[in-house]
Chains A and B, each alone.
Chain A
């Protein structure tokens, strides 16, 4: 193996990884709702991807492979903090609301409400939902990333979206609407 061609592929590899970072970070943030942790998880996943580049047999599947690594990093993190619990069923109970300045308040409020609702979903549902909605992975790809059957992907997505929809409807109902007389 010529050393020089390693260089070219390593550079290409590094560039693909760099390009994938924003997507990984976005999803990591949607999962944990903690910018610093999301950044750490993204960093950890990228470093692991660099180390284990040899395990990726099909470069066209790089994206799902990266998200699978990210998911394992997060699960490891959760397991270290909740050793006794079923990770997929974990849900955040207490969450600090986003502090938002007065300007742009309504938009921020909607965003914060959705993020809170997403964070309240059990981990399993949260992961399926964000991978489908934010990264547009197919159900089959999500099954591969999380190592679960496609039927489980569908039922988790279904339950997650239903919970989210109900939550958002409820929030709308309790927010006083300004009416024009």
Chain B
């Protein structure tokens, strides 16, 4: 008598959901029963068809996002009590992302950007804004200093920075947000005949490295983006 293999079982076989014993039983049955083998084949083919059909879904129509993810994030960070307990739970579950996160919370943070990559520039601003909002909401003192050098300097260059408006807004909303440009990077650009104008309120340090070393000596937390 042929072993009875149900459709459910055959699907589970195709999806690799059977335990070893059941798989063996189905394999043996498939080997001796041509019709069953054909059914299994048809199911596998159907599965492949579905995968293939959505391998390249049409591109999402791009429309402006009125509420960017970081705003939802800032809100999420600020939800009191329960949310914080959740973050703490995840804190324990995940490993620390960087040694800097283990630093005591000095309330002084230096964010360092040395790269012109668009995603990083956005990240540094998201982080700055997230920190500033979280600090304001929780009533904690906080100073965030953004230090830019090399390709990162573009973020602070007037006429070049794609985020000039957002930076202006952040500065207007948060007196505790400061911008530092690397003097050496500016020097190098000028040597190459490139005119460098900085966004309003940007201060120039001798070099990004100097500034970072000084701040870390003062107990600031350092975050490289």
Contact = CB atoms under 8 A, between A and B. Distances in A.
B7 A162 contact: yes
Nearest to A62: B90
A90 B70 CA distance: 36
B15 A3 contact: no
Nearest to B56: A111
Interface residues of A, number: 59
Nearest to A134: B54
Given A38-B57, A139-B15, A168 B49 contact: yes
Contact of B73 (A43, A50, A134): A50
A7 B130 contact: yes
Nearest to A60: B93
A42 B62 CA distance: 13
Contacts, number: 171
Contacts of A1: 84, 87-88, 91
Chain A contact surface mostly: helix
A157 interface: yes
Interface in A24-77: 25-26, 29-30, 35-36, 38-39, 42-43, 46-47, 50-59
B12 A11 contact: no
Contacts of A29: 54, 57-58
Given A1-B88, A35-B61, A54-B86, A134 B69 contact: no
Given A12-B94, A114-B49, A47 B72 contact: yes
B89 interface: yes
Contacts of B11: 154, 157-158, 161
B72 A10 contact: no
Contacts of A4: 100-101, 103, 105, 109, 131, 221, 223
A10 B77 contact: yes
B50 A164 contact: yes
B29 interface: no
Chain B contact surface mostly: helix
B142 A3 contact: yes
B97 A9 contact: yes
Greatest chain A CB density within 10 A among B11, B43, B86, B97 is at B11
A13 B49 CA distance: 33
Contacts of B104: 2
26 contacts: A4-B103, A4-B109, A6-B77, A9-B91, A9-B94, A10-B73, A10-B130, A11-B127, A12-B97, A26-B54, A29-B57, A35-B59, A36-B61, A38-B60, A43-B65, A46-B69, A51-B72, A56-B90, A111-B53, A130-B50, A132-B15, A133-B50, A134-B51, A161-B11, A161-B47, A164-B46
Given A43-B65, A161-B46, 11 more contacts: A8-B96, A8-B98, A8-B100, A35-B60, A51-B76, A54-B85, A111-B52, A114-B49, A115-B53, A155-B8, A168-B46
Minimum-distance CB pairs A-B, first 10:
A54-B86, A39-B60, A114-B53, A2-B105, A8-B97, A8-B101, A133-B50, A29-B57, A50-B72, A5-B101
Interface of B: 7-8, 11-12, 15, 17, 42-43, 45-47, 49-54, 57-61, 65, 67, 69-70, 72-73, 75-77, 79, 82-91, 93-94, 96-98, 100-105, 109, 123, 126-127, 130-131, 134-135, 138, 140, 142, 221, 223
Interface of A: 1-14, 17, 25-26, 29-30, 35-36, 38-39, 42-43, 46-47, 50-59, 110-111, 114-115, 118, 129-130, 132-134, 138-139, 154-155, 157-158, 161-162, 164-165, 168-169
